[in-house]
Amino acid sequence: METKILTASDTDIAFAGEIIKNGGLVAFPTETVYGLGANALSSDAVKSIYKAKGRPSDNPLIVHIAEKEDIIPLVKEVLPKAQALIDAFFPAPLTIILKKSEIIPDATSGGLDTVAIRMPENEIARRIIKASGVPVAAPSANTSGLPSPTRAKHVLDDMNGKIDAIVDGGDCKFGVESTVITLVTDVPTILRPGAVTKEMLEEVIGEVALSSAVLEGMKDGEIAASPGMKYKHYSPRAKIVIVDADKEQYETFVNTRKNAFALCFDGDEISIPHLSYGSENDDLSQARELFDRLRQLDEMGARKVYARIPAKSGVGMAVYNRLIRAAAFNIIDLKKPYTLGLTGQTGAGKGFVCEYLKELGFKIIDADYYSKKLTKKNSPIFPALQAEFGEDIVKDGVLNRKLLARRAFISRERTDKLNSIMHPEIKKLCRAQAKGLCVLDAPQLLEADMQDECYKLVSVTAPESLRLKRIKERDNITDIEAKERISAQHPEEYYLSQSDFTVINDGKSDIKEQINRILEEIL
Ligand code: TXA
Ligand code: MG
């Protein structure tokens, strides 16, 4: 079929209305995204929408009306809260769900006993609905699963040859689909956030809930409040990963990525191929540009895209909701001070791992270094240590480390005591250095309770014989002292059970390969 491109002239609008009235499909602009319209009261017309989009037939459509009172024959009852929303907002990027009337075919409601109604703000849309003389079912005019179309070109890319006509009305004002709120639940619930925000709705009808599926994926076996929630959405071909970081962390991170693209904000300083979607403090600009940029990234051949996280407030909630679906819920959290925490038993060989991570551009924060710094000549921490481990561990302002180690590492209880004095200070010193992509290298990371400050935790392990050999050589101590130190530590299980990843450093396994695999998975 030839897809005609129409304008917003009176003749073209009348023609578009005629097509819909006669059971055909017309894509048209709305203030949110382009819709693919058909007669909502005709099962056959509606079925051709599903076919053109490749959309699962249990995913119901929104019925679009031209006047407020056009809702009356479509629903069982206009509940008082629905009427309040209509009076306050319609026409608007807002869709309300009520019990449906008999005239709504199952094909339109996806077999549900409810129907979604919206009166678009966009005038071209309302003129077309009026011209058709029927309520117009219209999902977003994209191929199911792809980003919604915000320009006529996007519709043409997806629908050319599959529908009767496209009315070109320029770029969409908001760029994300309408807010969907159901009024058939005890507390009105937002099923999809949009430009009409939760705060705006609450001002009119009081308490409004946010469906848990808005910010999280659906759990296995969960029944969708809105069938659309369970399907893959807004996904370009590229794999999108959201980076939860501030501007500087994001830039540092992204600029070290190879073969990747960035989906950043205006003004971000990015040295890899990138597109920006609006500016950091303007959620409306982000909404307007997001879908277009997702499509452009595909055109640029992007395979992997690191997207900067939007704020989740106001319209940003809608932006985040779309982006997290485009990313199939993949997020990297760099807001924590340390990207990786590295720990393990003494002698396991964290040093080798750090060397390689440093080569890869990570900043290494060595807790032992700060621990030594903390015990330099005349340290203010000495009195506390002396009170616990004996006056004689400090002589002429100098700490006798061997003596302290002998007294502290003799038992768990004594070790804990030493830790309770040292750890809070070491933590402060380390945190002061944390910046960008960094690794906290800390044998006592778990004991010091620093795991929550690390995005991911890696344990390094090695067989005991190897660890013994390493620490004897490194610290120049006897076999007995080495064994004592090892037995004062937690067993291997303690580290493994609390870590996200393990690196085996037994002198045989390839450390670089293990680290590459970890980074591949998390970044
Ligand atoms: O902004 C918009 O709403 C655009 C423009 C074209 O108006 N339309 C749009 O339609 O986004 P669509 O089909 O892409 O998304 C409609 C969403 C789906 O997630 C669907 O599951 C949900 O609304 N929905 C429709 N009827 C429903 C119902 N009766 N109960 C629960 N969810 C419903
Ligand atoms: Mg859609």
pLDDT in tens, 393-418: 999 999 999 999 999 988 889 989 99
Ligand 2: centre distance to CA 37 (Å): 12
- Write down the pLDDT at residue 188: 98
**pLDDT, tens digit, 9 for 90 and up, residues 436-494:** 889 999 999 998 999 999 999 999 999 999 999 999 998 899 999 899 888 878 899 99
Q: Looking at residue 309, what DSSP letter applies?
A: P
Q: Where does the pLDDT of residue 220 fall: very low under 50, low under 70, confident under 90, or very high at 90 and above? A: low
Element (H, E) at 399: strand 398-399
User: What is the model's pLDDT at position 488?
Assistant: 79
Three-state SS at 248 = helix
Task: Please indicate whether residue 189, judged by its CB atom, sits closer than 6 Å to ligand 1.
Answer: no
- Buried b / exposed e over 139-167, threshold 16 CB at 10 Å, is bbbbbbebbbbbbbebbbbbbeebbbbbb
Helix or strand run (H / E) with residue 26: strand 26-28
Q: How far is the CA of 180 from the centre of ligand 1 (A)?
A: 7
How far CA 388 is from CA of 68, 100, 383, 392, 397, in Å, comes to: 78, 76, 9, 11, 17
Can you tell me whether residue 224 is helix, strand or coil?
Answer: coil
Lowest mean pLDDT among 78-92, 142-156, 192-206, 497-511: 497-511
* Ligand 1 probe mutation, 57, 118, 158, 180, most atoms within 8 A of CB: 180
- Confidence bin at 316 (pLDDT 50/70/90): very high
Is residue 119 a contact partner of residue 4, using CB atoms and an 8 Å limit? Answer: no
Q: And the tokens for 261?
A: 């693209």
Sign for the CA dihedral angle at 440, 443, 448, 451 comes to positive
Ligand 1 atom closest to the Cα of residue 34 is: 6
Distance CA 21, CA 23 (A): 6
Classify residue 458 by burial, with Cβ atoms within 10 Å: 0-12, 13-18, 19+.
buried
Rounded to 5 degrees, what are φ and ψ at 101?
-90, 175
98 pocket-lining for ligand 1 (C-beta < 6 Å): no
Question: Residue 42: CB within 6 Å of ligand 1?
Answer: no
Any atom of ligand 1 within 6 Å of the Cβ of 228: yes
- Asked whether 179 lines ligand 1 (CB < 6 A), one says no
Q: Is residue 129 in contact with ligand 1, taking CB distance under 6 Å? A: no
**CA–CA dist 321, 194 (Å, integer):** 9
Residue 80: asked if its preceding bond is cis (omega within 30°), the reply is no
Q: Is 116 in the pocket of ligand 1 (CB under 6 A)?
A: yes
**Ligand 1 close to Cβ of residue 91 (< 6 A):** no
Q: Is the dihedral of CA 262, 264, 268, 273 positive or negative?
A: positive
The amino acid present at 425, given as its one-letter code, is E
Residue 32 near ligand 1, beta carbon < 6 Å? yes
What is the C-alpha separation between 439 and 455, in angstroms, rounded? 10
Identity of residue 117: I
Q: How far apart are CA 396 and CA 334, in angstroms?
A: 44
Distance from C-alpha of 476 to C-alpha of 360, rounded to nearest angstrom? 31
Closest atom of ligand 1 to 177 CA is: 1
DSSP reduced 3-state for 306: strand
Residues with CB under 5 A from ligand 2 (ion): 140
Taking the CA of residue 109 as reference, the ligand 1 atom at the shortest distance is 29
CA of 169 to the centre of ligand 1 (A): 21
- 360 Cα to the center of ligand 1, angstroms: 45
- Ligand closest to 143 (CA) is 2
pLDDT at 521: 87
DSSP single-letter state for residue 10? H
Q: What's the pLDDT band for 219 if we cut at 50, 70, 90? A: low
Residue 20 pLDDT > 90: yes
**Backbone torsion region of residue 267, taken as left when φ is above 0, otherwise alpha when ψ lies between -120 and 50, otherwise beta:** left
The protein residue whose alpha carbon is closest to atom 15 in ligand 1 is 139
Q: Supply the mean pLDDT for the chain.
A: 94
Read off the DSSP letter of residue 259.
S
Ligand 1 atom with the smallest distance to the CA of 178 is 1
Overall average pLDDT of the 73-100 stretch: 98
Predicted local confidence at residue 231, as pLDDT: 63
112 lines ligand 1 (CB under 6 A): yes
Closest ligand 1 atom, residue 93 Cα: 1
Please tell me the predicted confidence (pLDDT) of residue 229. Answer: 65
Measured from the CA of 194, which atom of ligand 1 is nearest? Answer: 1
pLDDT over threshold 70, residue 323: yes
> Does residue 109's CB lie within 6 angstroms of at least one atom of ligand 1?
yes
Contact 344, 460 (CB under 8 A): yes
Whole-number Å distance between alpha carbons of 470 and 464: 10
Q: Cα separation of 338 and 364, whole Å?
A: 10
Sheet with strand 35-39: strands edge to edge: 4-6, 165-167, 26-28, 35-39, 136-137, 62-64, 114-118, 94-99, 179-182, 189-192, 209-210
In 3D space, the residue among 219, 191, 199, 207 whose CA is nearest the CA of residue 321 turns out to be 191
Average pLDDT over residues 158-181: 98
Place of tokens 């009105």: 188
